[in-house]
């Protein structure tokens, strides 16, 4: 019996040692439309209104990144604010540590209210990044601009942090620690749906519409190895 327990202990020890020796956990962000990758400035067919769309701008904030193991937080990123700009290859991947055991990843899509009321900041939060409205409205959590072949422009600058206008979205994903590379797919079907585009193609202020649209975008985000 003692030998069996010793064997189990050693097996668990070397399994954990193997996990610690892995490369960093890497998250790649990719825009998709109905699970097909979208390339910036490359027209794609919108099946819902038989038009073509060219994505010209896609930027969003990822913040408050945490890793969990057995429902307990095992790692929290400090100063956790990342501006993902799909046109900037240096910003579309995030490297997280591997020297912890993890089975779940969480992050926020957007910037929290405390940071919004702290005024303009630096780094990823620098107003020169084009993601800050004013001290009253705060940061733009998600910015998308596109052009339809009909000539119409699609502009969504989604933000808001105060009360019912708080558009911040919290996401959690179970992850297999045997994988070290994951693809975070932002399926933009909610934005390019016929229902949404018929409602409005221009949304650039906080409010219920911004909250609802960003909520729907978050629901369509998936994380896959």
35-39, 54-58, 116-120, 176-180, range with greatest mean pLDDT:
54-58
Q: What is the pTM of this model?
A: 0.88
- φ, ψ dihedrals at 130, nearest 5°: 80, 20
Residue 73 has pLDDT above 70, yes or no: yes
Task: Say how many domains are in the chain.
Answer: 1
CA atoms within 13 A on the CB side of 40: 13
Q: If you average pLDDT over residues 33-44, what whole number do you get? A: 94
SS3 call for 225: coil
CA proximity to 133, closest of 208, 55, 206: 206
How far lies 175's CA from each of 3, 133, 139, 181, 225, in Å?
33, 35, 30, 10, 8
What is the CA 174 to chain-centroid distance, rounded? 15
Place of tokens 């558009």: 167
Partners of 217 in beta bridges: none
Residue 4 lies in a domain: no
Of 198 and 177, the structure prediction assigns the larger pLDDT to 198
Strand (E) or helix (H) holding 15:
helix 2-20
Range of the structural domain that residue 51 is part of: 24-224
Residue 14 has pLDDT above 70, yes or no: no
- φ, ψ dihedrals at 21, nearest 5°: -85, -5
Residue 48 lies in a domain: yes
Residue 19 lies in a domain: no
Report whether 75 contacts 67 (CB < 8 A): yes
Distance CA 67, CA 134 (A): 32
Residue 16 lies in a domain: no
Residue 9 lies in a domain: no
Report whether 221 contacts 186 (CB < 8 A): yes
Q: What's the pLDDT tens digit per position in 126-156?
A: 999 999 998 889 999 999 999 999 999 999 9
Residue 18 lies in a domain: no
Among 4-18, 32-46, 78-92, 121-135, which is the least confidently predicted range?
4-18
Place of tokens 């649209």: 213
* pLDDT band with cut points at 50, 70 and 90 for residue 20: very low
């Amino acid at each position: 019996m003692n030998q069996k327990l010793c064997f189990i202990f050693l097996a668990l020890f070397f399994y954990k040692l193997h996990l610690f020796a892995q490369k960093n956990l890497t998250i790649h962000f990719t825009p998709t439309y109905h699970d097909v990758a979208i390339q910036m400035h490359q027209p794609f067919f919108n099946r819902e209104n038989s038009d073509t769309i060219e994505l010209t701008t896609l930027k969003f904030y990822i913040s408050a990144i945490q890793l969990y193991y057995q429902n307990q937080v095992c790692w929290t990123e400090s100063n956790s604010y990342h501006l993902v700009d799909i046109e900037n290859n240096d910003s579309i991947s995030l490297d997280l540590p591997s020297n912890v055991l993890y089975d779940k990843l969480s992050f926020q899509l957007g910037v929290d209210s405390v940071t919004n009321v702290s005024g303009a900041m630096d780094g990823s939060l620098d107003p020169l990044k084009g993601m800050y409205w004013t001290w009253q409205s705060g940061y733009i959590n998600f910015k998308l601009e596109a052009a339809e072949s009909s000539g119409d422009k699609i502009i969504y600058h989604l933000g808001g942090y105060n009360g019912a206008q708080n558009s911040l979205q919290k996401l959690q994903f179970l992850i297999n620690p045997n994988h070290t590379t994951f693809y975070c797919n932002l399926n933009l079907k909610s934005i390019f749906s016929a229902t949404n585009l018929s409602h409005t193609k221009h949304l650039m202020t906080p409010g219920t519409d911004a909250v609802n649209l960003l909520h729907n975008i978050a629901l369509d985000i998936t994380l896959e190895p």
